[in-house]
Each structure stands twice: as C-alpha cells, then as structure tokens.
C-alpha cells in the first residue's frame, strides 16, 4: 500500500498519531524497530505502545486537575490511547491504571485492523529527506537515528536517566503484616472494596536500616558516555532521593500519613496508628497477580534489590516479576528546533511527537502524538493548521514544548496548571475549577476545526 505519511516509532505517541491520521482517511506507514531484530534497554517485548515504567496514567476521577483535564480533552478527540486504556483498566483509586499487557494488545489490535494503517517492523536509521514524516521514537531512540537528528537540528541532544520500579507477585506478599488501604481512604467506583494499595509498615528502626541500605547498596555503574547525564525529578531513583536526607523518603513515596495500621492498635487508637514509614504497592495487571512498588524506581543492581527489598516488612519472601532498572532517555531542545506546529525548522516535512520532544508522562506523550497527527492531516489536506487554544491542557503543553519554555534550561515537563495562561483575578481556591471550566469551553469551540480535515 502506498502511504501518505510515515510515522517512525510505535510507542504511545506514534500509535496515537497513526490513529488520528487514519481516522481522517490518510494511509499511514508505522515503523517500529522492535520485532524486527532490535530492542531497547527498557522494553520487555515487541508490542506496540508498551508501557515500560509505571502502569498508571495518573489522576482520572477529578477533572479539576491538569492531567484529568488532559484525559477529558483527549477523549473528546477520539483518542486511541484513552479508549484502549479504559478497556484495560485495573483498580487504582483516583488514578487510571491499566493492565499493561492488555493495553498494548488493545492498541496493536486496533491499528492492525485499521484499513488505513500498515505496521512495518523495521529500524529507521536516518531522517527521511522528503515526504510527510512524524518522528515519535521516544526517549530510547536508536543511536543511529539520534545521530541523524543531531545532524539535522544542529543542537546537542539532551539526555536524562529514567528508572523503573520493581513488580512483585501478589501471592508472595505477607498479608498478615501488610494491609490494603488507600491514603485518606480515597476511593472511586473503580476501586477495590477495601482500598487500592497494599501497605508495608515500617518502624523507625526498620526505616533507618532500610534508608542506610539504599545508601550503601551496590548501584548500576555508569558508562563513560553517561557520566554527566542528569536525572529527571519525576522518575528519581529511590536511592538518589534517600541521598538527599534521612527523612526525604518519609515525606515522599514512603509517606505514612492517613494510613492506619490495623495490626498496631491501642485503646487510644483502636483503628491502628500511622506507621513511621510505609511502602505502598499498586495493582499492575487486571488479574491482580502483579503489584508495582510505588515510587521505587531504582538503579540498584539486581542482587542488591532482592536483598534489600526483602527486608521490607511483608516482603520477606517476595518474588519479583520484574526488578527495577535504569535507562538513558533522550529528547531534543524543542523550543529551539521545532516550530509551533511541531515541525523541524529547516525541514518542515518532519514533525516530532511524544517524549522525544521533552514532554513527560504517558498521557502527555500520547497527547502530543495526537496533535502531531491532527496537524499533519491538516497540512496534507492543504488546510490552515488549527492549534488548540493555549487555555486548554493540550494547548498549554504544546506552547511549553514549542516556545514558552526557556531553551537554555529546557527539561521534561508533565502537564500542570502552571503552564496555563494565569487567572490572577480568580481567588486561589477557585482557580483549578476556573482553569478547567475555561479550558472545556474553549475546547468545544475548537473541536469543530479538527474533526474532519481529509477525505
């Protein structure tokens, strides 16, 4: 099949872009190197849209926050990622978490069944010199293509380390020590009956010993070319957080506030008392057999992980479906090299989408892929490109990537209300709701310009 546009990369952004283009009547060639003899340091298989870190798309039950608003906007635009995620959903309280295998299969099935999409398992080593193209190779871009991007942009690429959290088999967790509860008992209709997180409590002595173990544990060694690569705070390895201070973890991923340990009761606290610190695990698949250690991204070596994590109360006999890991992420200096429509300056037939642009997070990556697909469809149809209003979550994220951010300090960014045009005349307590209401109204006005753009 001849194609109208070539998409390089079968992650969330590439798949979302392919879907948006195909739904607008365009023939798409989607190239994915995994399954064609190549892989990356972080991927486990060759499925499209594989989730390599957390299985959570973050908050979904309340649209009065930026990522919840982004979910809403993507659903209004027939997002493949959001639809496939809904079908693969697992209980996670106010978060939208998915069974990662079911999610990947859902995305791949829909694309393979679409008559306008051709998926090719191949590695692309250089940017195409002509023809509409979307590069959505993500933070794990192959070295050869990365070098081609550097040559085309004239800018040194930026890089940071991303750490992956371990996954534990549910039946290896000692529930005589642990209990199920969500912080503040916050649950939704999708929640488990008692709560959505398994909690492993720690006394002060246990916590201090664990903290020291993180500091002393054997870490993954850097390669020479990685030595000066910084971490992204959103995926900071737990031992790097521990190095910031003895109490950092207790006010971060091991925060015990609102968790009443039913195994530790007194007449004064009949429902139990907050432990000194807590390790939380979140359901990772639909069967409930795998649980993710929340916030436990790590660069500890495998042996050190097993030894230390089995000192956590309730995990003495833990069996790990996956241990934590560390990989290097790569992204371009988008405010410098991309225009407002995600096109590469000096080579406007090429667009970039997803994490390689410097957005951070599954949903954000998919949203930029969605926008790249819509804009490319408008370009190919010879129509004016219609940008989402900056007052929307997608518009605010796009503006940050393509020019609002300071190029000299550009770093990966999750969507947040700090990216939105401010509403200084609205009382602070009402601003989130005001941001959301304004965004929804402006989105409705914009939708008519993007729903059908190609025959």
What three-state secondary structure class fits 47?
A: coil
Torsion sign (Cα): 407, 411, 412, 418 = negative
- Which string of DSSP letters, residue by residue, matches 266-295? -SS-TT-B--SEEEEEEE-STTS-EEEETT
Res 258: pLDDT:
85
Phi-psi region of 201 (alpha: psi -120 to 50; beta: other; left: phi over 0): beta
List of domains in the chain: 5-157+332-447 (3.50.50.60), 164-327 (2.40.30.260)
Partners of 352 in the β-ladder = 135
Cα–Cα distance for residue pair 90/286, rounded to 1 Å: 5
Cα–Cα distance for residue pair 359/47, rounded to 1 Å: 22
Helix, strand, coil content of the chain in percent (nearest 5): 35, 20, 45
Radius of gyration of the chain, Cα coordinates, nearest whole angstrom? 22
DSSP 130: S
Cα–Cα distance for residue pair 178/201, rounded to 1 Å: 7
Res 455: pLDDT:
36
CA 188 to chain centroid = 22
Cα–Cα distance for residue pair 214/307, rounded to 1 Å: 11
Cα–Cα distance for residue pair 194/314, rounded to 1 Å: 18
Res 61: pLDDT:
66
What three-state secondary structure class fits 368?
A: helix
- Any binding-site annotation on 214? no
The pLDDT tens digits along the chain (455 residues) read 699 999 999 999 999 999 999 999 999 999 998 887 777 766 778 899 999 878 999 988 667 889 999 999 999 999 999 999 999 999 988 889 999 999 999 999 999 999 999 999 999 999 999 999 999 998 778 888 988 998 898 776 667 777 788 999 999 999 999 999 987 666 555 456 568 899 999 999 999 999 999 999 998 776 655 566 677 666 788 998 999 999 999 999 999 988 888 888 766 666 667 899 999 999 988 788 889 999 999 989 999 999 999 999 999 999 998 898 877 778 888 999 999 999 999 999 999 999 999 888 899 999 999 999 999 999 999 999 999 999 999 999 999 999 876 677 677 788 999 889 899 899 988 999 999 999 999 999 999 888 654 43
Partners of 328 in the β-ladder = 161
How far is residue 394 from each of residues 39, 170, 433, measured CA to CA in Å? 30, 37, 17
Which pair of structure tokens corresponds to residue 166?
């371990």
Closest alpha carbon to 366 in 338, 394, 331? 394
- Any binding-site annotation on 10? yes
CA 251 to chain centroid = 22
H-type alpha helices, 133-255:
143-153, 204-216, 238-242
DSSP 439: H
What three-state secondary structure class fits 444?
A: helix
- Any binding-site annotation on 11? yes
- Any binding-site annotation on 111? no
Cα–Cα distance for residue pair 205/199, rounded to 1 Å: 18
Res 223: pLDDT:
61
Q: Which class for 139: exposed (0-12), middle (13-18), buried (19 or more C-beta within 10 A)? A: buried
Which pair of structure tokens corresponds to residue 165?
């959290």
CA 294 to chain centroid = 14
Res 133: pLDDT:
98
Cα–Cα distance for residue pair 372/367, rounded to 1 Å: 9
Q: Is residue 201 within 8 Å of 256, Cβ to Cβ? A: yes
Phi-psi region of 288 (alpha: psi -120 to 50; beta: other; left: phi over 0): left
Q: Which class for 271: exposed (0-12), middle (13-18), buried (19 or more C-beta within 10 A)? A: exposed
How far is residue 2 from each of residues 8, 70, 124, 130, 333, measured CA to CA in Å? 16, 34, 18, 15, 33
Which pair of structure tokens corresponds to residue 142?
């192959």
Q: Around 71, how many Cα atoms within 13 Å sit in the side-chain half-sphere?
A: 22
Res 30: pLDDT:
98
Q: Is residue 166 within 8 Å of 297, Cβ to Cβ? A: no
- Any binding-site annotation on 12? yes
**How many Cβ atoms are within 10 Å of 151's Cβ, its own excluded?**
10
């Amino acid at each position: 099949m001849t194609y109208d546009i070539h998409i390089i990369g079968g992650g969330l952004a590439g798949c979302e872009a392919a879907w948006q283009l195909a739904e607008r009547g365009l023939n798409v060639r989607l190239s994915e190197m995994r399954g064609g003899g190549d892989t990356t340091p972080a991927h486990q298989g060759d499925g499209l849209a594989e989730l390599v870190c957390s299985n959570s798309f973050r908050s979904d039950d309340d649209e009065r926050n930026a990522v919840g608003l982004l979910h809403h906007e993507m659903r209004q635009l027939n997002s493949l990622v959001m639809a496939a995620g809904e079908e693969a959903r697992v209980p996670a309280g106010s978060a939208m978490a998915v069974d990662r295998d079911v999610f990947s299969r859902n995305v791949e099935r829909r694309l393979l069944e679409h008559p306008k999409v051709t998926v090719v398992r191949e590695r692309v080593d250089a940017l195409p010199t002509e023809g509409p193209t979307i590069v959505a190779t993500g933070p794990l871009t192959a070295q050869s293509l990365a070098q081609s991007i550097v040559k085309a942009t004239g800018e040194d690429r930026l890089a940071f380390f991303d750490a992956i959290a371990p996954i534990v088999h549910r039946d290896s967790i000692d529930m005589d020590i642990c209990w199920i509860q969500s912080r503040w008992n916050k649950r939704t209709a999708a929640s488990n009956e008692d709560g959505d997180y398994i909690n492993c409590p720690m006394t002060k002595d246990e916590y201090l010993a664990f903290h020291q173990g993180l500091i002393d544990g054997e870490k993954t060694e850097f390669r020479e070319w990685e030595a000066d690569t910084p971490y992204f705070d959103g995926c900071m390895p737990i031992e790097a957080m521990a190095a910031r201070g003895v109490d950092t973890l207790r006010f971060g991923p091991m925060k015990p506030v609102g968790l009443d340990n039913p195994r530790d009761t007194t007449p004064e606290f009949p429902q139990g008392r907050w432990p000194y610190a807590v390790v939380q695990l979140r359901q990772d698949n639909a069967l409930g057999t795998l649980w993710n250690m929340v916030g436990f991204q790590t660069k500890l070596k495998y042996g050190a992980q097993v030894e230390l994590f089995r000192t956590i109360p309730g995990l003495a006999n833990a069996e790990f479906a996956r241990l934590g890991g560390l990989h290097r992420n790569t992204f371009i200096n988008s405010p410098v090299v991309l225009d407002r429509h995600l096109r590469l300056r000096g080579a406007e037939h090429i667009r970039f989408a997803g994490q390689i642009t410097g957005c951070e997070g599954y949903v954000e990556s998919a949203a930029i892929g969605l926008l790249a697909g819509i804009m490319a469809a408008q370009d190919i149809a010879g129509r004016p490109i219609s940008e989402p209003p900056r007052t929307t979550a997608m518009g605010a994220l796009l503006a940050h990537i393509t020019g609002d951010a300071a190029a000299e300090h550009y770093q990966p960014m999750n969507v947040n209300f700090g990216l939105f045009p401010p509403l200084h005349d609205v009382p602070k307590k009402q601003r989130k709701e005001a941001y959301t209401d304004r965004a929804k109204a402006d989105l409705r006005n914009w939708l008519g310009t993007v729903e059908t753009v190609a025959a």
